[in-house]
């Protein structure tokens, strides 16, 4: 590219900027904004807010709606649960109800002065298995060990979207100056350290906006929490092989978790639109042909009501299963070093 081409392109991008008048009607009607990412792992919850004009001053307190709000979750087999207000716009089940995989649920939210909103989704059925784990290398000089792992996913009929990740249980110490750091001692608390992994599978994509896009080549080799779809293995069983490097610990045995997520169509569409929005945010209009908007499945309102299902496979270096309660995992509050 010549320097004159660069100068011309710069001039075009700068020269296209002009003042824009925002015509916001004085009778702007706010809408209910619904947010719920539900799964069989947790009780029902849903956040309700209200939208605001682009010219309104937004604060956390003003955008939340608390009085005169009714939140109902309904599903098959005459299931119904009226969620109760908790705090900061969040409504929760008081009947210990959890979503069931494969069941379509509908939420109806009503509030005085707003049209009733409605949305439907499901937590997809997920069938995954950990097949084999083998240690292939130990590098004492770097304090690492390398593993090869195989798992499989049994795909259900229809379009399906997934994610996968691998994490290691490691001891940590909350340093006063450096935050969370590895403190490899028997009395240290434990947390999960997300690991990157390698795979030659053509299905994995770390960036959701590139998934199932034939115009973009598969160039990723190292993955963090990649997405993949069933486009090439619909309604069949697909095996995956990954290689990951972990920390070589002295105080505890190496323990890992493999997590597989099945995303509903609604959740996938929302996360993809969010990624595309973030990529295009701040770009001049000349760089895109249409406005970027976030996906929403909420009728008469805004937001997202979408489900997912997660499988967690816990294993150690000998492929033995282990449980979190044995090691007192999931400590909510980070404690200082001893």
Residues 103 and 124: their CA atoms lie apart, in Å, by: 8
279 and 322 within one domain: no
165 and 83 within one domain: no
Lowest mean pLDDT of 67-76, 110-119, 142-151, 274-283, name the range. 274-283
What pLDDT is stored for residue 198 in this prediction? Answer: 95
Question: What is the pLDDT confidence band of residue 15, given thresholds at 50, 70 and 90?
Answer: very low
pLDDT at 1 over 80: no
Question: Stretch 159-181: mean pLDDT, rounded?
Answer: 78
302 and 314 within one domain: no
210 and 182 within one domain: yes
97 and 209 within one domain: no
Question: Stretch 48-57: mean pLDDT, rounded?
Answer: 72
Question: What is the pLDDT confidence band of residue 59, given thresholds at 50, 70 and 90?
Answer: low
What pLDDT is stored for residue 148 in this prediction? Answer: 96
Which pLDDT tens digit goes with each residue over 301-325? Answer: 999 999 999 999 999 988 889 887 6
248 and 294 within one domain: no
Tell me which residue range forms the domain holding 240. Answer: 127-262+308-337
50 and 84 within one domain: yes
CATH of the domain at 194: 2.60.40
Question: Is residue 196 within 8 Å of residue 224, measured between CB atoms?
Answer: yes
Which pLDDT tens digit goes with each residue over 91-114? Answer: 999 998 999 999 999 999 999 889
120 and 251 within one domain: no
Establish if 7 belongs to a structural domain.
no
Establish if 168 belongs to a structural domain.
yes
| Burial (CB count within 10 angstroms: exposed 0-12, middle 13-18, buried 19+), residue 43 | middle
320 and 302 within one domain: no
Mean pLDDT, rounded, of the chain: 82
Query: H/E/C letters for each residue in the chain?
Result: CCHHHHHHHHHHHHHCCCCCCCCCCCCCCCCEEEEEEECCCCCCEEEEEECCCCCCCCCHHHHECCCCEEEEEECCCCCEEEEEEEECCEEECCCCCCCCCCCEEEEEEEECCCCCEEEEEECCCCEEEEEEEEEEEEECCCCEEEEEEEEEEECCCCCCEEEEEEEEEEEEEEECCCEEEECCCCCCEEEEEEECEECCCCCCECCHHHCCCCCCCCCCCEECCCEEECCCCCCCEEEEEEEEEEECCCCCCCEEEEEEEEECHHHHHHHHHHHHHHHHCCCCHHHCCCCCCCCCCCECCEEEEEEEEEEEEEEECCCCCCCHHHHCCCCCCCCECC
Establish if 8 belongs to a structural domain.
no
114 and 145 within one domain: no
Which pLDDT tens digit goes with each residue over 224-258? Answer: 999 999 998 999 999 999 999 999 887 778 889 99
Establish if 237 belongs to a structural domain.
yes
Domain count of the fold of the chain: 2
Question: Stretch 21-48: mean pLDDT, rounded?
Answer: 83
What pLDDT is stored for residue 158 in this prediction? Answer: 93
329 and 193 within one domain: yes
Tokens, residue 257: 């978790």
pTM here is 0.81
What pLDDT is stored for residue 270 in this prediction? Answer: 96
Establish if 1 belongs to a structural domain.
no
What pLDDT is stored for residue 30 in this prediction? Answer: 83
66 and 94 within one domain: yes
Establish if 249 belongs to a structural domain.
yes
Half-sphere exposure of 228 (CA within 13 A, CB side): 25
Which pLDDT tens digit goes with each residue over 195-232? Answer: 999 998 989 998 898 888 767 666 667 899 999 999 98
Residues 335 and 338: their CA atoms lie apart, in Å, by: 9
Establish if 5 belongs to a structural domain.
no
pLDDT at 179 over 90: no
Establish if 11 belongs to a structural domain.
no
């Amino acid at each position: 590219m010549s320097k004159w081409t660069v100068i011309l392109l710069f001039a075009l991008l700068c020269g296209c900027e002009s003042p824009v008048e925002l015509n916001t009607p004085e009778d702007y009607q706010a809408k209910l904004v619904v947010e719920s990412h539900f799964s069989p792992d947790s009780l029902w919850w849903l956040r309700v807010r209200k939208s605001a004009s682009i010219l309104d001053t937004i604060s956390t307190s003003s955008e939340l709606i608390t009085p005169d709000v009714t939140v109902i979750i309904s599903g098959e087999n005459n299931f119904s649960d009226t969620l109760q207000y908790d705090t900061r716009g969040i409504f929760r089940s008081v009947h210990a109800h959890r979503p069931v995989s494969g069941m379509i649920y509908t939420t109806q939210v009503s509030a005085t002065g707003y049209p009733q909103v409605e949305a439907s989704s499901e937590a997809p059925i997920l069938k995954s298995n950990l097949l084999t784990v083998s240690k292939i290398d130990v590098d004492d000089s770097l304090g690492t060990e390398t593993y090869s792992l195989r798992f499989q996913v049994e795909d259900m009929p229809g379009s399906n979207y997934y994610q996968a990740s691998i994490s290691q249980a490691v001891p940590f110490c909350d340093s006063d100056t450096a935050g969370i750091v590895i403190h490899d001692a028997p009395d240290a608390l434990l947390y999960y350290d997300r690991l990157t992994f390698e795979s030659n599978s053509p299905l994995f994509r770390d960036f959701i906006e590139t998934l199932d896009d034939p115009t973009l080549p598969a160039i990723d080799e190292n993955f963090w929490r990649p997405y993949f779809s069933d486009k090439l293995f619909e309604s069949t069983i697909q095996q995956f092989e990954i290689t990951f490097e972990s920390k070589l610990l002295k105080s505890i045995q190496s323990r890992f978790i493999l997590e597989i997520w099945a995303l509903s169509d609604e959740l996938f569409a929302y996360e993809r639109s969010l990624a595309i929005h973030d990529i295009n945010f701040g770009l001049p209009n000349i760089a895109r042909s249409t406005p970027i908007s976030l996906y929403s499945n909420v009728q008469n309102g805004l937001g997202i009501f979408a489900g997912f299902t997660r499988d967690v496979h816990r294993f150690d270096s000998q492929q033995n299963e282990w449980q979190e309660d044995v090691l007192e995992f999931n400590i909510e509050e980070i404690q200082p070093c001893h």
